[in-house]
Amino acid sequence: MSSSKVTVEERQDMAPMSTPHHHSGRHFKTYFLILLVIIFSPLGNVLLSTGMKEVGPMTFHSASQFFGVFAQVFTSGAIWLGIASLFVYFISYMLVLSWADYSYVQPATAMGYVIVALLGHFVLHETVTPLRWIGISLIFLGVLVVGHTPPRTTEHR
């Protein structure tokens, strides 16, 4: 029991030392949460996709079919892992937004679109055509531009 306590304390000691900066603790926290956002949002979507491909195309011709699909969805391990990933993403995103600027965090969200395409291509072996890459790049740029506007407009001026 006491040994696990020591490791936690060691970790807390090491984090601020890794960057010789005044607010290094907060910087570390911010980078760490942004990293979680970048990893868990695309991962969640890829896992949901994997799960849904196992379930098969959703069709709702009858009520019994609907509940059948519903049961399959909520007994799929991949879907639950996907939901858990999106939950981690959502919590990290909310937490980081409670102190960091929206425009500072926005590039991380934009990156998600590129990462999800990379994962789709390399992990799920989806065909990503050049036109789709162009589209994804434009979306990435668009999100960056949107993020570069003041985060609050309802009280200024």
User: Which residues bind to other proteins, rule: CB under 8 A?
Assistant: 42, 45-46, 48-49, 52-53, 55-58, 73, 79, 112-113, 116-117, 119-121, 124, 126-129, 131-132, 134-150, 153-154
C-alpha dihedral, 156 to 100 to 37 to 136, nearest 10°: 40
Residue whose CB is less far from other proteins, 24 or 69: 69
CB of 154 to other proteins, least distance (A): 5
Q: How far is the CB of 96 from other proteins (least distance, A)?
A: 15
102-122 and 77-97 helices cross at what angle (nearest 10)? 160
User: How far apart are the C-alpha atoms of 94 and 90, rounded to whole Å?
Assistant: 6
Specify whether the CB–CB gap between 116 and 45 falls below 8 A. Answer: yes
Answer yes or no: are the C-beta atoms of 47 and 79 closer than 8 Å: yes
How near is the Cβ of 23 to other proteins at its closest, in Å?
21
Task: Give whichever of 24 and 86 is closer to other proteins, judged by the CB atom.
Answer: 86
Query: Taking the complex as a whole, how short is the minimal distance between the CB of residue 58 and other proteins, in angstroms?
Result: 4
Hunting for tokens 């790049």 — which residue is that? 137
How far apart are alpha carbons 115 and 118 in whole angstroms? 5
Give the amino acid at 101: D
Shortest Cβ 90–other proteins spacing (Å) = 11
Cα-flanking dihedrals φ and ψ of residue 59, to 5°? -130, 140
Nearer to other proteins, 10 or 101 (CB): 101
Q: Which is nearer to other proteins, 24 or 128 (CB)?
A: 128
Nearest residue (CB) to other proteins, 14 versus 124: 124
